[in-house]
Amino acid sequence: MSASGPTEDPRDDLRVTAPKRVAAGVPAVAHAMEYSLAQAGPRRTLLTLLSLNQAEGIDCPGCAWPDPQHRHKNEYCENGAKHVSDEATTRRVTREFFAAHPVDELDRKSDLWLNQQGRLTEPMVKRPGATHYEPIGWDEALGIVADELTALGSPDEAMFYTSGRLNNEAAFLLQLFARAYGTNNLPDCSNMCHESSGSGLGETLGIGKGSVSLDDIHESDLVFVVGQNPGTNHPRMLSALEETKRNGGKVIAVNPLPEAGLFRFKNPQKARGVVGRGTEIADQFLKIRPGGDLALFQMLNRLLLEAEDAAPGTVLDHDYIAAHTTGFDAFAAHARTITWEHVLTATGLTRAEIEQVHAQVLASRRIIVCWAMGLTQHKHGVPTIRELVSFLLLRGNLGRPGAGVCPVRGHSNVQGDRTMGIWERVPDRFLDALAAEFDFAPPRAHGYDSVAGVRAMRDGRAKVFVGVAGNFVRAMSDSDVTEAALRSCSLTVQISTKLNRSHTVCGETALILPTLGRSDRDVQASGEQFVTVEDSMSEVHQSRGRLAPASPHLLSEVAIISRLARRTLGPGGAIPWEDFEADYALVRDRIARVVPGFEDFNERVAVPGGFRLPNPVNSGVFPTPSGKAVFVVNQPEWIEPPAGHLVLQTLRSHDQWNTIPYAMNDRYRGIHDARRIVMVNPDDLAELGLADRDLVDLVSVWTDGSERRAEGFRVVAYPAARGSAASYYPETNVLVPLDSVAEISNTPTSKGVIVRLEPAGGAGAAAG
């Protein structure tokens, strides 16, 4: 049996309807309600939805898009509602459930089935050689982890993975614990997500965060939406873009797929969205080849330089460039060498299309570039981001209203977790502050990121894996290698709300530690607690759960981490773990002293809506070594598949949340009741001798000549860019080699996998 993922995928009943051009509107509300009521029932649905994204309510765990200052009564979208209801579900996974299902049976179940079983209710252990998980008390469970950690030859044989679901308080304590224990091995989902943004922005601007606010989006003359599917993944971004349009701004979308929300949006919060035709979003849509964005921005930059030549003093912002940047001359000399021939091949666009964009750029004073995984998960993701920064710098589009960089984050607190020190390469100044505050010597050597962590487990250099708030085995690339790596551990620990495949891929001993979710009320010794998060635009605010916890045996993440730290590090010591567990305000007091920008944290976060962390770029301060923004020369790079091959991107359906499908549909793309599908342009299909609905295997070819295979995918003729293919993650993670990573950021290249499509069970199948 192949190790690559569950073997009992739900039945393939593929039905295809026309892709949608309009996002949201009344159907979105109906779909959200249907899912919420089925999961959580009317009472819990009402309690969660009414408080979702309200100033004193639950921060939506759906994505990191910020909340507007003036909130509606219904300040959430279809997918946010589905996401919080999935957590608020009334279904429960009990000890009887684990007694009835051996681990190897659970291991064959689909991701969808595992999630549908409901909330975890008590700690469970799979002991060495056992076939089942069995109940275990909290004390004994944490004792097992502490004993394993203290018995390791070196703290660097342990790693602590997190996703951006973790709140600030728990994140701060987790990194503090890991470092007090002795390791910087803090891989996180960022490594697979926006790491390229952090790398590219850090190098050019000195800070790896976005610079814009919601008001900037509203006021911009031109917003680029590049490599992003907001209709599904950041739905309320469409309300912001609607505002841009109503204020006379333009939107240009760049994507290999004609995604629904990019064209038209019916705002379900507004009467005009319910009865009208909705708002047109993109004024221009560029159906780009995967990986062509670097070439696109390089040509836009060349055109700006040439426009300046033609009308000196009218195009570039010379004052800005002189005052705030370095590297312009070398950059400009290189930009002039970019050729149309290269750019048209790399992008698949026409010269007229690119010249039309250029004209719009010239007509726009204030420009914002937004992006997500379509840029970051490519081999040359970091150069692409550096190039779009240069594009903005040329006309001084940073640090003034309506202009700037906007990497649109995924997990609701992924940005906050980094701010709190969840980073395997955290700067020394952070470690210095930690050392001073808690009187210990944190380790200085960089830790493992996600890819390095898998290599370390695979090679026997890491033996204990602790995962908090994610599903590492399904999120990571090269599923077979990742699974074998985890199975080789002496201990795997998952701190989770719901069952997922990381619980069925076990080390010699495996623990499931169930925890409160965002929507659950959190009461500790000092009373009811709230937690804090930071969104994609650096707004820090409270989140307060409302529901009765899914089980009386759940502990909060803060409590689990504090107790584990106490058990592992022993009593005494300068870190008051017990106090932290009793009163999260005491954690925030320490954050205020360690993390810049969090001064008077408790007072400032008590204000409804919280506060915004300053981005120095907006005051003309660039924390780079030179103190200036940097123009970087990027060599042209693009993806050129060999004949007969396509560039496969692995993405999200409308009805999934990261590794967890909520349903078998992808509503906006018109795909129903199937996930093992691959979308390909009909002209490519004709060239490959394939037809719509053919059953194929996806075979990825890697530079060392090795191949990886994902079997049994149904072809769907789809208006995708020529030469590209698209299929869902995590089913296709098996195709991405562990060593296939982005330069500098080490992010798996989930959007640039070279594949061929072989008739399923055909001649090639035996060779695999």
Residues binding ligand SF4 (CB under 6 A): 53, 60, 62-63, 65, 76-77, 79-80, 234-236
Q: Choose the one of Mo ion, ligand SF4, ligand MGD, none that binds residue 421, judging by a C-beta under 5 to 8 angstroms depending on kind.
A: none
Q: Is 226 in the site for ligand MGD (CB under 6 A)?
A: yes
Closest approach of ligand SF4 to the CB of residue 531, in Å: 16
Q: Is 650 in the site for ligand MGD (CB under 6 A)?
A: yes
Q: Is 79 in the site for ligand MGD (CB under 6 A)?
A: yes
- Residue closer to ligand SF4 by CB (options 64, 565) is 64
Q: Is 193 in the site for Mo ion (CB under 5 A)?
A: yes
φ, ψ for residue 284 (rounded to 5)?
Answer: -140, 135
Closest approach of ligand SF4 to the CB of residue 657, in Å: 9
Longest Cα–Cα distance of the chain, Å, equals: 77
The conformation of residue 615, written as its DSSP 8-state character, comes to -
- Residues 524-563 contacting ligand MGD, CB under 6 A: 557
Residue in 525, 520, 529 with CA at minimum distance from that of residue 550: 520
User: Considering only residues 52, 149, 171, 651, which one is a binding residue for ligand MGD as defined by CB under 6 A?
Assistant: 651
Residue type, 404: G
Compute how many other C-beta atoms are within 10 angstroms of the C-beta atom of residue 445.
10
**Could you give the CA distance from residue 294 to residue 638 in angstroms, rounded to a whole number?**
8
Q: Is 749 in the site for ligand MGD (CB under 6 A)?
A: no
Structure-block tokens of residue 134:
């069995």
Mask for 248-277, x = binds ligand MGD (CB under 6 A): ------xxxx-x------------------
- Residue closer to Mo ion by CB (options 410, 467) is 410
Part of the chain binding Mo ion (CB under 5 A), chosen from 34-42, 231-239, 407-415, 596-604: 407-415
- Residue closer to ligand MGD by CB (options 507, 723) is 723
Structure-block tokens of residue 656:
């999934």
| Helix, coil or strand: residue 312 | coil
- Residues 43-62 contacting ligand MGD, CB under 6 A: 62
- Residue closer to ligand MGD by CB (options 101, 604) is 101
Q: What angle do CA 255, 237, 119 make, to 5 degrees?
A: 100
**Could you give the CA distance from residue 584 to residue 604 in angstroms, rounded to a whole number?**
15
| Helix, coil or strand: residue 322 | helix
Closest approach of Mo ion to the CB of residue 410, in Å: 3
**Could you give the CA distance from residue 36 to residue 293 in angstroms, rounded to a whole number?**
38
Mask for 143-182, x = binds ligand MGD (CB under 6 A): --------------------x-x-----------------
Strands (E), 121-199: 124-126, 134-135, 158-162
Part of the chain binding ligand MGD (CB under 6 A), chosen from 24-32, 351-359, 492-500, 615-623: 492-500
User: Residue 495 belongs to what H/E stretch?
Assistant: strand 491-496
Q: Is 660 in the site for ligand MGD (CB under 6 A)?
A: yes
Closest approach of ligand SF4 to the CB of residue 78, in Å: 8
**Could you give the CA distance from residue 472 to residue 2 in angstroms, rounded to a whole number?**
19
Q: How many CA atoms lie within 13 A of 628 on its CB side?
A: 16
Q: Is 410 in the site for ligand MGD (CB under 6 A)?
A: yes
Closest approach of ligand SF4 to the CB of residue 658, in Å: 12
- Residue closer to ligand SF4 by CB (options 234, 302) is 234
Q: Choose the one of ligand SF4, ligand MGD, Mo ion, none that binds residue 220, judging by a C-beta under 5 to 8 angstroms depending on kind.
A: none
Residue matched to tokens 């049994």: 712
Q: Choose the one of ligand SF4, ligand MGD, Mo ion, none that binds residue 697, judging by a C-beta under 5 to 8 angstroms depending on kind.
A: none
Closest approach of ligand SF4 to the CB of residue 688, in Å: 37
Q: Is 485 in the site for ligand MGD (CB under 6 A)?
A: no
User: Considering only residues 116, 244, 413, 497, which one is a binding residue for ligand MGD as defined by CB under 6 A?
Assistant: 497
User: Considering only residues 206, 278, 410, 447, which one is a binding residue for Mo ion as defined by CB under 5 A?
Assistant: 410
Q: Is 659 in the site for ligand MGD (CB under 6 A)?
A: yes
- Residue closer to ligand MGD by CB (options 219, 449) is 449
**Could you give the CA distance from residue 683 to residue 46 in angstroms, rounded to a whole number?**
48
CA 722 to chain centre: 26
**Could you give the CA distance from residue 588 to residue 604 in angstroms, rounded to a whole number?**
11
Bridge-based pairing of strands 629-630 and 325-326 is parallel
Q: Choose the one of Mo ion, ligand SF4, ligand MGD, none that binds residue 236, judging by a C-beta under 5 to 8 angstroms depending on kind.
A: ligand SF4
Q: What angle do CA 190, 194, 199 make, to 5 degrees?
A: 100
Q: Choose the one of ligand SF4, ligand MGD, Mo ion, none that binds residue 496, judging by a C-beta under 5 to 8 angstroms depending on kind.
A: ligand MGD
**Could you give the CA distance from residue 109 to residue 717 in angstroms, rounded to a whole number?**
29
Closest approach of Mo ion to the CB of residue 19, in Å: 24
Nearest-CB residue for Mo ion = 410
Q: Is 290 in the site for ligand MGD (CB under 6 A)?
A: yes
- Residue closer to Mo ion by CB (options 249, 410) is 410
**Could you give the CA distance from residue 592 to residue 613 in angstroms, rounded to a whole number?**
12
Mask for 681-720, x = binds ligand MGD (CB under 6 A): ----------------------------------------
Q: Is 187 in the site for Mo ion (CB under 5 A)?
A: no
- Residue closer to ligand SF4 by CB (options 80, 421) is 80
**Could you give the CA distance from residue 89 to residue 86 in angstroms, rounded to a whole number?**
5
Closest approach of Mo ion to the CB of residue 477, in Å: 14
Q: Is 228 in the site for ligand MGD (CB under 6 A)?
A: yes
Structure-block tokens of residue 567:
């058990």
**Could you give the CA distance from residue 472 to residue 134 in angstroms, rounded to a whole number?**
22
Nearest-CB residue for ligand SF4 = 62
Q: Choose the one of ligand SF4, ligand MGD, Mo ion, none that binds residue 183, judging by a C-beta under 5 to 8 angstroms depending on kind.
A: none
- Residue closer to Mo ion by CB (options 377, 615) is 377
The conformation of residue 506, written as its DSSP 8-state character, comes to -
Helices 168-181 and 557-569 meet at what angle, rounded to 10?
A: 10
Residue in 141, 43, 44 with CA at minimum distance from that of residue 86: 44
Question: Is residue 767 classed exposed, middle or buried when 0-12, 13-18 and 19+ CB atoms within 10 A define those classes?
Answer: exposed
User: Considering only residues 133, 472, 668, 718, which one is a binding residue for ligand MGD as defined by CB under 6 A?
Assistant: 472
Query: ω before 576 within 30° of 0 (cis)?
Result: no
Judge contact between 687 and 680, C-beta under 8 A. Answer: no
Residue in 489, 487, 496 with CA at minimum distance from that of residue 468: 496
| Helix, coil or strand: residue 443 | coil
Closest approach of ligand MGD to the CB of residue 82, in Å: 8
Closest approach of ligand MGD to the CB of residue 763, in Å: 28
In angstroms, the first-to-last Cα distance of the chain is 14
Judge contact between 388 and 223, C-beta under 8 A. Answer: no
Residue matched to tokens 């800070």: 207
**Could you list the residues that contact Mo ion (CB under 5 A)?**
193, 410
**Could you list the residues that contact ligand MGD (CB under 6 A)?**
62-63, 79, 163, 165, 189, 192-193, 226-229, 232-234, 254-257, 259, 288, 290-291, 293, 372-374, 377-378, 410-411, 468-472, 475, 495-498, 500, 515, 517-518, 557, 649-652, 656-660, 729, 732-733, 736, 750-751
